Chain A
Amino acid sequence: MIEVTDLETCFSTGFIRRRVVRAVDGVSFRIEEGETLGLVGESGCGKTTLGRSILRLVEPDRGRIVVDGTDVTALSRSELRCFRPRMQMIFQDAYTSLNPRMRVRESVAEPLKIHRMGSRTDIDRRVRELIEEVGLNEEHLNRRPYELSGGQNQRVVLARVLALKPRFLVADEPTSALDVSVQAQILNLIRDLGHDYRMTCLYISHDLGVTRAMSSRVAVMLEGRIVEIGRTADVLDRPSHPYTRRLVDASLTGPCASLERLPLPAAPTTVEVRSGHWVEETV
């Protein structure tokens, strides 16, 4: 179970005139065990920063993150390193996620070696198991990333993640660079493995079709805030926030709501429009 409370992550930009950008601005939500929460929003809304903040790949400035009963925000550097295997992340570009000089065998074995999970023969056996689980075979073990397709590289990344048997996975648009037929293979794989490994998942995407297929609940992010959250069918079929309506319209054919910037309240309040479906009030 994942619980995020009032999370805030800021970046300062500008060399002479410092400016603070609040990329994640007071975000709170829960993900139940084994559940997948979809996170949607436009480029630059803070989706990726939120995912990275939860894993402390960027340090949040404020707020609390509890993963499986452990307060991640309170962990020291060394404690955090020991906790890392339990929360993992996969990225959009599998090719750049992998070390170009490592063969698949070495890439998949690397996390097992780092976290000292078994002897050399154990690791070798586990690598073979993992590679089969993600739908590759022995002949791929000696290949390097440039000798594999985008979909195959994403499978290798998945094998690396699964090696650690994580409890929580942040998937950051893992299929947005893939063709539809390969995307379908990878999405099915993530869904099945997520189920087999009983993983809790935060699935980040800007594609509402993918989000619908992958998640039971969905959160909509705008300018660092979650403006709407609820069951996938409620949020995407009966959107209450004007921004969600716009996102839904944009992915349909036919007339589309205006693409002007929405004015947002400075001090947001959230209301429950139906059971488990929360929406930020607009000005």
Chain B
Amino acid sequence: MTAMSDALLEVRGLKVGFPTPEGLVRASDTVDLEIYPRETLGLIGETGSGKTVLGMAILRLLQPNTIIEGEIRYRGRDLLSLPEAEMQRVRGREIGIVLQNSGTSLNPVYTVGTQIAEAVILHQGLSGPDARQRAVELLDAVGIPDPVRMAGEYPHRFSGGMRERALIATALACRPNLLIADEPTKGLDAVTKRGIVDLFSEIDRDHSVLFITHDIETAGDLATRVAVMYAGEIVEIGGAEEVLGDPAHPYTRGLLASLPERGMQPIPGSAPSLITLPSGCRFSPRCGCAVENCSREHPGLVEVGSGHYARCMLYD
């Protein structure tokens, strides 16, 4: 892939490792991706594939003993080498994040309005009453009914879907250029999920979104491009229609075939441990198309269509 200078965010050769007594957990391995202005990039993959770690690494939210290599360039600046004080100005203001588990992301002892206002006071220097007003506007914008009253309520009065909306409101409070949304539809029922998906497609915006999800259909609804992660690597990336409509990588095909609507054919076996990864292609032990060479050589990303890449020997 060629480096594009018009990308808002460029991740180059990102490696993230967690030292553990059992060995180094390679949660992200040589990840390359770009996010362009105003696009929604869907990042899909299963539990433990490294999606969340990638989102957290971009904002440098990982624990201090994490081993991080590579480059994360945001508007030309390498975030990994920024001093902490400058990084603090990027978080929230330039890049917003909606973390997983909306239930635990809000502080139970402050009202929701106070928590949104806090972000606005901190990053935009608004006065208390102005910030409060802005919090109400934001709640209104994300579709919370009766926002004036709800701003004064505590998180336990919010349902799962409403908490998710409140968190999205907080993340959007400072009008970031990039919004990282980590599983914002997890645990929501179909109707509530649909509301959140609609919200993402409706909020009028100039920002890009990195939409992390294990829900393939949601990614298909929202994303312009989709990246598929497996065992810490991107195994396929390209336009959403190409990747989900005509998948090239056997893993992506397997994921789609395991959907109940598409025959519910499970992928045999289970995902490898990130400490002892299989040699060669990481998916080869579970792959129906694997040939001898697959367990020996580690494939690179190969262009299979316009802007559509897959990490598979089939296309070498």
Contact = CB atoms under 8 A, between A and B. Distances in A.
Given A213-B264, A250-B194, A180 B216 contact: yes
B270 interface: yes
B264 A208 contact: no
Interface stretch (A63-71, A107-115, A159-167, A184-192): A184-192
Given A179-B47, A180-B259, A181-B254, A188 B264 contact: yes
Nearest to B220: A253
B260 A209 contact: yes
Contacts of B261: 209, 212-213
Interface string A192-219: 0000000000000011111011000000
A247 B191 CA distance: 6
Nearest to A213: B260
B180 to A, nearest CB: 20
B239 to A, nearest CB: 16
Interface string B252-295: 00110011110011110010000000000000000000000000
A183 B46 CA distance: 11
A268 B110 CA distance: 42
Going nearest first, the 3 A-B pairs with the smallest beta carbon separation are A184-B258, A184-B266, A209-B260
The number of chain B residues touching the other chain, given as a range, is 20 to 34
Given A180-B259, A184-B260, A212-B261, A247 B190 contact: yes
A256 B190 contact: no
Contacts of B266: 181-182, 184-185, 188
Contacts of B193: 250
B160 interface: yes
10 contacts: A42-B191, A43-B160, A43-B189, A180-B216, A180-B258, A181-B255, A184-B258, A246-B191, A250-B190, A256-B194
Interface string B38-73: 000000001100000000000000000000000000
B100 interface: no
A145 interface: no
Nearest to B214: A179
B190 A251 contact: yes
Given A251-B190, A256-B194, 5 more contacts: A185-B266, A209-B259, A251-B194, A259-B194, A259-B195
Contacts of B259: 180, 184, 209
B92 to A, nearest CB: 30
Contacts of A177: 187
Interface string A94-116: 00000000000000000000000
B255 A208 contact: no
A206 B189 contact: yes
Contact of B258 (A150, A176, A181, A256): A181
Residue from B191, B214, B254, B258 with most neighbouring chain A CB atoms (10 Å): B191
Contacts of A250: 190-191, 193-194
A125 to B, nearest CB: 27
Interface string A25-62: 00000000000000000111000000000000000000
B190 A210 contact: no
Given A180-B216, A181-B266, A184-B266, A150 B191 contact: no
Nearest to A152: B270
B130 interface: no
Nearest to B221: A253
A180 B265 contact: no
Nearest to A249: B194
Interface string B155-189: 00001100000000000000000000000000111
